[in-house]
Chain A
Amino acid sequence: MKLKLLLLSPFLLLIAHAQGPTADQIVDRVTNIMSPENSHSKGSQTIITSSGKERVFEFESWAAEKGKSTLTRYTKPAAIRGQAFLMLNNADDIWSYFPRTKRIRKLASHAKKQKMQGSDFTYEDMGGGDVFQKKFKSRILTEETRDGAPTWKIEMSGIPEEDPPYPKIIMWVRQSDYYPIALDYYNEKDFNTKSLVLSDIQLIEEYPTAMEMVMTDNKERSSTTMRTLEITYAWEPPKGFFSERNLKK
């Protein structure tokens, strides 16, 4: 009996491969690709409101442990220069630093639902790590071509006990490299509140990287473009980098 199973196993694997990866396998690959061990980047954030007014912010950001720890410091405009946010444990622990008052304050995790400097991204949206794997249950809805690329359309339903950032997310994952190119975020009423499109995907130090991300608020009719100006994954965090001490620098 054991011998029969051994003989059959290569065929079973072939059948499984022919059927394509499961939703969980795709989400695992997406998480790996989207969460390099470490990164150091400079970026800009352009907010265009529903009335067409534009604001541009620039920031420097560091991430480690596959996005579990991040530190973001704003460099422009002058009004918020030096404001910094330290997020540990996938943004479950947040500290803010305001240079005008020289005060560091621990924020409760509800703060991660706040908009980043009034943009369409929340602090939670910027958190990395294994949120998709741990806080959502995934299934493949269909395979379709989007922006000329064959994709898997994955539905991720939030697991209520895990306090997911959104009740539901639909994600389009490029089949060629498992890179997500679009995400739709839904609220409790199953309304598509926000949409994220990732573009200008370049291979940086072996990691596919979206140099541009556009988040559109479908209710407010505003949008925020996050542009990566510089990025490296070769950065190694010095000991104690993700600490309050460094937040003030």
Chain B
Amino acid sequence: MKYWGTLLLLPSLLFAQPEFFGYFESEASTMQLGSTNYNFGFNKFRLDVEARPNDHVQIGANINIQQYWGKTSWDVYDFIPVDHPTGQGLIFTIPDTILLDNFYMKLSFKLADLTVGRQQVSPGVGYAWNPVDIFNSKSLMDPSYEQPGVNALRVDIPLGDRSTVSSIILPKDVLDESTHQFTLKSGIGSFDLTATAAYESEKDWQTPLLGRYDVSERNLIGGSVIGEMLGWGVWVEGAYNTLKIDIPPWSSFLPPDSEETYAEYVVGIDHTFDNSLYMLVEYLHNELGVKKQENLSLNHYIFALEGEVNSLMQDYTFFYAMHPTFDYVTLSAIVFSNLNDTSGVFSPIIDWNVYEDTNLSFQGSLNWGDSDTEFGLQDWGLIMNITSTF
């Protein structure tokens, strides 16, 4: 019964003159952590198939095959400057994966679009952080990387050329326990405005670190504004959250039945100068984060590492600059910092479009801050990535 969607969509895909495309990505990394150097990486193959039986129907799917090499088992305490209560490590292993990532059908009616199946959902206008996004978490080293699909039923109803009402439901056994997100998007002048409300219930949280426990309830009210002021792109995205977490009693080092009410917002600006230099700056304030370093607990680190919160502490900045300096070579740099513990990362990037569909990039990272800070724990790293699209 679980695979009824697959049985329904697969024949449609095969008989509708599908297009195949995708990419192969190989990444090699080295990282200096204290006195130890680690080498690791992955090979990833993504195959997309897309079919349009007629103007009103679109069917899409993709399979990701990802194989890891080098160091694949990590002790979470290597990334956390606190001691484990029992003195033992918390080891997690990254397994090779074959994943049916997206698998959806989009029906375009006169008055609405309906998308059913596993699909990528990326709400929000922020670049590095998205307080209104309850579906994904981003890596600050590459915030524009694709997000995994989620099982959802999505309805978009356009109201005029610039306004849309969207409803996304992640169905569960019981409708009341399903995750809902409603969004109203509109535009005034050179600004796009969005209002968002979301409810998340009984979210399974299967963490390799702590086993399973649940976000029993999350309510979110938020919104965003993006537009232009004095020739600069400007945006703000924020959310007010109520979060209830049921933590199993055996997790003795975590406080049971935690509840948090918090606001989170990001403000950003960007500009392209006449010499083609593009610059972006964002600031994040997250009340769920910890303001003072001495108040950090293991719980906070695990929340951050698992991507369940957007940040470990409260205040962060993100800077990105990019310039197409040479023929098919783009030089860019990312700098992000934790303003509360004054640690950060400087990451220069060279991206070379070697051939029409092949990119080779080198991304370095130089960390600063004390060894007991969020980013100061790591010394430096280097990532080589080659991606070939077909």
B is bound to A: yes
Interface residues of A (CB under 8 A from B): 49-51, 53, 55-56, 77-79, 81, 92-93, 98, 100-103, 105-111, 113-115, 118, 222, 240, 242-245, 249
**A49, A53, A110: the one within 8 Å of B231 (CB):** A110
Cβ contact within 8 Å between B324 and A109: no
**A53, A93, A111: the one within 8 Å of B328 (CB):** A53
In the bound assembly, the distance between CA atoms of A111 and B274 in angstroms comes to: 10
**B23, B161, B192, B276: the one within 8 Å of A240 (CB):** B161
Cβ contact within 8 Å between B272 and A113: yes
Given known contacts A78-B389, A111-B233, A245-B156, A118 and B122 CB-to-CB distance under 8 angstroms = no
Cβ contact within 8 Å between A243 and B113: no
Q: Name B278's closest neighbour in chain A (CB-CB).
A: A114
Cβ contact within 8 Å between B271 and A110: yes
Q: Name A79's closest neighbour in chain B (CB-CB).
A: B389
**B125, B190, B278, B328: the one within 8 Å of A109 (CB):** B190
Q: Name B123's closest neighbour in chain A (CB-CB).
A: A103
Cβ contact within 8 Å between A93 and B190: yes
Cβ contact within 8 Å between A56 and B146: no
Collect the chain B residues with CB atoms within 8 Å of residue A102's CB. Answer: 119-122
Cβ contact within 8 Å between A114 and B146: no
Main secondary structure of the interface of B (DSSP, over half): strand
Collect the chain B residues with CB atoms within 8 Å of residue A114's CB. Answer: 272, 276, 278
**A53, A103, A240: the one within 8 Å of B122 (CB):** A103
Interface residues of B (CB under 8 A from A): 21, 23, 58, 108, 113, 119-122, 125, 144-147, 156, 158, 161-162, 164, 190, 192, 226-228, 231-234, 270-272, 274, 276, 278, 324, 327-328, 353, 356-357, 359, 389-390
CB pairs A–B below 8 angstroms (11 shown): A53-B327, A77-B357, A78-B21, A79-B359, A100-B146, A101-B122, A102-B120, A110-B232, A113-B274, A118-B324, A243-B158
Q: Name A108's closest neighbour in chain B (CB-CB).
A: B233
Cβ contact within 8 Å between A101 and B276: no
Main secondary structure of the interface of A (DSSP, over half): mixed
Cβ contact within 8 Å between B328 and A55: yes
Collect the chain A residues with CB atoms within 8 Å of residue B119's CB. Answer: 102
Collect the chain B residues with CB atoms within 8 Å of residue A53's CB. Answer: 327-328
Min CB–CB distance A101 → chain B (angstroms): 6
Collect the chain B residues with CB atoms within 8 Å of residue A93's CB. Answer: 190
Collect the chain B residues with CB atoms within 8 Å of residue A110's CB. Answer: 228, 231-233, 271-272
Cβ contact within 8 Å between A115 and B276: yes
In the bound assembly, the distance between CA atoms of A114 and B323 in angstroms comes to: 11
Min CB–CB distance A29 → chain B (angstroms): 31
Cβ contact within 8 Å between B356 and A55: yes
Q: Name B122's closest neighbour in chain A (CB-CB).
A: A103
Q: Name A50's closest neighbour in chain B (CB-CB).
A: B327
Given known contacts A49-B328, A53-B328, A108 and B270 CB-to-CB distance under 8 angstroms = yes
In the bound assembly, the distance between CA atoms of A115 and B271 in angstroms comes to: 14
In the bound assembly, the distance between CA atoms of A105 and B274 in angstroms comes to: 21
**B158, B192, B390: the one within 8 Å of A106 (CB):** B192
Cβ contact within 8 Å between A108 and B227: yes
Cβ contact within 8 Å between A242 and B161: yes
**A49, A106, A113: the one within 8 Å of B226 (CB):** A106
Cβ contact within 8 Å between A111 and B272: yes
Min CB–CB distance A89 → chain B (angstroms): 9
Collect the chain B residues with CB atoms within 8 Å of residue A242's CB. Answer: 161
Q: Name B192's closest neighbour in chain A (CB-CB).
A: A106
Cβ contact within 8 Å between A108 and B232: yes
Cβ contact within 8 Å between B232 and A79: no
Cβ contact within 8 Å between B328 and A118: yes
**A101, A240, A243: the one within 8 Å of B120 (CB):** A101
In the bound assembly, the distance between CA atoms of A78 and B22 in angstroms comes to: 8
Collect the chain B residues with CB atoms within 8 Å of residue A222's CB. Answer: 327
Collect the chain A residues with CB atoms within 8 Å of residue B108's CB. Answer: 249
Collect the chain B residues with CB atoms within 8 Å of residue A243's CB. Answer: 158, 161-162
**A51, A79, A113: the one within 8 Å of B327 (CB):** A51
Cβ contact within 8 Å between A101 and B190: no
